[in-house]
Amino acid sequence: MRLGVNIDHVATVREARQIREPDPIAAAVLADLAGAHGTVCHLREDRRHIKDRDVYFLREIVNSHLNLEMAATDEMVKIAIDLKPDMVTLVPEKREELTTEGGLEIAANRDHLREVINQLRKQKIITSLFIEPDIRQIKASARVKADFVELHTGRYANLRSKILLADELDRIGSAAVAAGKLGLGVSAGHGLNYHNVQEIVKIREIEELNIGHSIIGRALFVGIQQAVREMVELIK
Ligand code: PXP
């Protein structure tokens, strides 16, 4: 299973002071050297952490896979077409949220999403849709001709009841199988950490995990390379 390391939180620390350090670009280089498959970052409309400058430097520097998370707006599509990341992950975005809260509602935005996916495909950019592990969203993702779906694991990560956890794991597993059958690539992410990732790793259809907060949090104590190595070891 591949690991994409989300470096947004390095930029969040930088923006706490609005200076030049710590630089998320350095984090991406070190994560790459420690065995991460790729770098993930979210260029938000309000630029609260990752900035335009960061994504352009990342494109220059990241030799592995660059996955740009963004809202499906005209501004972002323009940037993606210019930047040419390896993958774009389309996410819902609200200004007032602390982090991406839910998955995309595909059917309600079908025509727009199909058009965005088409535009990105012309530039040879793979498109992933961040969705709840819900069969309705999987089918709609296939209909708009996405390449990948990223299954939202936030609910799984927040549950404490063992029974509800087992149900949610089943839901994620079934969604992954359904997506695979429809020819979609499958990744997962949100809220995954060193304790809860093992059960997700058992779902064979999931090819890639995108993890940020837990890795950057652990990096404060053990360094980013050690934090990435430990996660790579857990998920391989
Ligand atoms: N995947 C997507 C689509 C996200 O929006 C995020 C959060 O930026 C992540 C994965 C990573 O989540 P976390 O920081 O909780 O690991």
Question: Residue 146 has what pLDDT?
Answer: 98
Q: Give the N- to C-terminal CA distance of the chain in Å, as an integer.
A: 5
* Model pLDDT, residue 100: 72
Q: What is the pLDDT of residue 222?
A: 98
* 187 close to ligand 1 (CB < 6 Angstrom): no
**Atom 6 of ligand 1, residue of closest alpha carbon:** 190
3-state secondary structure the chain: CEEEEECHHHHHHHHHHCCCCCCHHHHHHHHHHCCCCEEEEECCCCCCCCCHHHHHHHHHHCCCEEEEEECCCHHHHHHHHHHCCCEEEECCCCCCCCCCCCCCCCHHHHHHHHHHHHHHHHCCCEEEEEECCCHHHHHHHHHCCCCEEEEECHHHHHCCCHHHHHHHHHHHHHHHHHHHHCCCEEEEECCCCCCCHHHHHCCCCCCEEEECHHHHHHHHHHCHHHHHHHHHHHHC
**Where are the domains positioned within the chain?**
2-235
Contact status, residue 74 vs residue 80, Cβ threshold 8 Å: no
pLDDT at 101: 75
Ligand 1 midpoint to CA 176 (Å): 18
Quick one: pLDDT at residue 178?
98
Question: Is 103 touching ligand 1 by the criterion CB < 6 Å?
Answer: no
- For position 11, what pLDDT does the model report? 98
130 lines ligand 1 (CB under 6 A): yes
pLDDT of res. 135: 96
> What is the pLDDT, as a whole number, of residue 102?
84
Q: What is the mean pLDDT of each run of 10 residues along the chain (236 residues)?
A: 98 97 97 97 97 97 94 98 98 79 91 98 98 97 98 97 95 98 98 98 98 98 98 96
The rounded Å distance from CA 189 to ligand 1 centre is 6
Is the shortest distance between the CB of 189 and ligand 1 below 6 Å?
yes
Residues 200 and 159 sit within 8 Å (Cβ to Cβ):
no
Q: Domain 2-235 carries which CATH code? A: 3.20.20.70
- Global model pTM greater than 0.75: yes
